[in-house]
Homo-oligomer: A and B are copies of this chain.
Amino acid sequence: MNNLELIKGISRTSPEKIVLLVIDGLGGLPNPKTGRTELETARLPNLDALAARGICGLADPIAPGITPGSGPGHLALFGYDPVEYNVGRGVLEALGIDIELKEGEIAARGNFCSIDEKGIITDRRAGRISTEKCAELCQLLDGMSANGVDIKLYAVKEHRFVSIFHGGYLHEELTDSDPSRTGVAPLKVAAEKTIAGGTASIVNEFIAKVRDVLKGHSPANMILLRGFSKKPNFPSMQAIYKLNPLAIAVYPMYRGLAKLVGMDIARTGLSLEDEIKTLKDNFAKYDFFFLHVKQTDTAGEDGDFARKVKALEQIDAALPGLIDLKPDILVITGDHSTPAVLGAHSWHPVPVLLCAKYCRTDGVKEFSEKAFLAGGLGRIKTTDIMPLAMANALKLTKFGA
């Protein structure tokens, strides 16, 4: 029995409302100049006050040492073991540009790349062509088919695109054509299971046709595909938790991940204030709310310590609007750490705060990585957060008599 099955067996409805605020890339590392992390540098009076009345801790999205992508990070937050409930790269990329995959379709992440006259890859990103150029090439290649299967290409950003294969009985058990390095030719796509042999041939036929069309379009004279995958069939949050959940997120990928677990999606504006307004407007209609804020992660990924500090302070400033709604359970955490000094997602455990009537508060009075070490939650797995929120909302009956 996995954890979701256990929870499904004991979940029940209650009037209590849960708000899960995800501050993307929340955790950080000390600035070498000051010795203080982004959270320790920012002035966060509202988060500090919440820390004082809630229970705090640190959470590992997957396991100690494992850096999660956005997909696994969010699935863990929703309570789904991200190793067991895996979302393919192609599907994630499609979600990221708001494409909803249909039954049976396969998505793959694509790169326009450069090959020499012998077919050897010289640049996996075709000199990072502009997004406009990428869109133009996708247009050029659009409407192609191979053995009765239609392929659509959607530009993402610079050299990146998504390809969607539609028609017939397609199988996703395929190896990548992208060798992940230069100096070799693109790989033939192979079937990882016998049943996917036909699909592999179709993909290879498509790639060969693309190569013919792109001849002379240097530097973008070839494509590389990876992460062939179908939309996964996950149990819904309604089925597991008996919740009526709403997602409020600006970026398509997070809305898409929420949709994979059955959440309704709200239309919202670009700022956290807009999101909180959307929360307020929908507060009576749902009992679970996922709010996503992206700016912290973007600043961290850009290696911009000061901008991440500022983003945290802006979030803190917007919080009273959320607190005024008096959610019975308020959880504030991140999907992973993104320390500005690393300029990337990291493996460091993520601060997590839970405020609720029966949370058994601890002695923590400051919202930071170091202060949370003494928190009452200790070091938990990110997948423990949903059961804890559910328990505090009195939405779980006891296990066994």
Contact = CB atoms under 8 A, between A and B. Distances in A.
A92 interface: yes
Contact of A71 (B345, B375, B401): B401
B89 A401 contact: yes
Interface in A248-269: none
A348 interface: yes
Contact of A376 (B62, B68, B373): B373
B65 A391 contact: yes
A369 interface: yes
A69 B388 contact: no
Residue of A71, A86, A341, A348 most packed against chain B (CB within 10 A): A348
A196 interface: no
* Interface band, chain A: 35 or more
Contacts of A89: 401
Interface string A208-224: 00000000000000000
Nearest to A64: B384
Interface stretch (A16-24, A120-128, A130-138, A359-367): A359-367
A243 interface: no
Residue of A3, A71, A347, A390 most packed against chain B (CB within 10 A): A347
Contacts of A341: 358
A398 interface: yes
A339 B398 CA distance: 14
A68 B399 contact: yes
Interface in A47-80: 58, 62-72
Nearest to A372: B376
A227 B400 CA distance: 10
Contacts of A397: 67
Given A63-B387, A347-B387, 13 more contacts: A1-B83, A6-B62, A29-B358, A63-B384, A65-B390, A68-B398, A68-B399, A82-B400, A227-B401, A342-B358, A344-B398, A373-B378, A379-B380
Interface of A: 1, 3, 6, 10, 29-30, 37, 58, 62-72, 82-83, 86-87, 89, 92-93, 109, 227, 339, 341-342, 344-348, 358, 360-363, 369-370, 373-380, 384, 386-391, 396-401
